[in-house]
């Protein structure tokens, strides 16, 4: 069993749609990271959150520590949002457990 589960694995959306990516984890954590990996391969850190909600532009991340669940929302999706989104949680050994990623394609 993976410590971090993401869903869906693949997602295709029309431009303008509201998108939700989910992340569930089984380990106790104090923070969760959302990462974005573009087709070119580079990884960008989107959010690090430990409670509640954070917003950056059209991206919103929420976390419920009690339910061990986080969501990443994209409002008014755009083709440039096409990427792989990865959820990562640190363990007590100071390593990341990574989700398998959600591959998002936004069609114009």
Interface residues with other proteins (CB under 8 A) are: 30-31, 33, 35, 41-45, 48, 50, 86, 88, 90, 93-96, 98, 100-101
Residue 6's nearest CA partner among 16, 28, 17, 21 is 21
| C-alpha to C-alpha distances, 85 to 15, 23, 71, 93, nearest whole angstrom | 17, 10, 11, 23
The minimum distance between CB 86 and other proteins, in angstroms, equals 7
User: Which of 48, 60 has the CB closer to other proteins?
Assistant: 48
The minimum distance between CB 22 and other proteins, in angstroms, equals 18
The minimum distance between CB 59 and other proteins, in angstroms, equals 15
The minimum distance between CB 42 and other proteins, in angstroms, equals 4
User: Which of 57, 108 has the CB closer to other proteins?
Assistant: 57
Both tokens of 54, joined, read 């954070």
- The backbone torsions φ and ψ at residue 16, rounded to the nearest 5 degrees and listed phi first, read 100, -15
User: Which of 82, 100 has the CB closer to other proteins?
Assistant: 100
Q: Is 39 left (phi over 0), alpha (psi -120 to 50) or beta?
A: alpha
């Amino acid at each position: 069993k993976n410590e971090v589960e993401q869903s869906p694995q693949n997602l295709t959306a029309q431009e303008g749609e509201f998108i939700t990516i989910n992340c569930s984890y089984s380990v106790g954590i104090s923070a969760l990271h959302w990462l974005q990996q573009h087709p070119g391969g580079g990884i960008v850190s989107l959010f690090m959150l430990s409670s509640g909600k954070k917003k950056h532009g059209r991206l919103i991340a929420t976390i419920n520590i009690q339910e061990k669940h986080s969501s990443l929302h994209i409002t008014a999706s755009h083709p440039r949002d096409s990427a792989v989104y990865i959820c990562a949680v640190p363990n007590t050994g100071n390593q990341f457990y990574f989700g398998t990623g959600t591959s998002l394609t936004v069609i114009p």
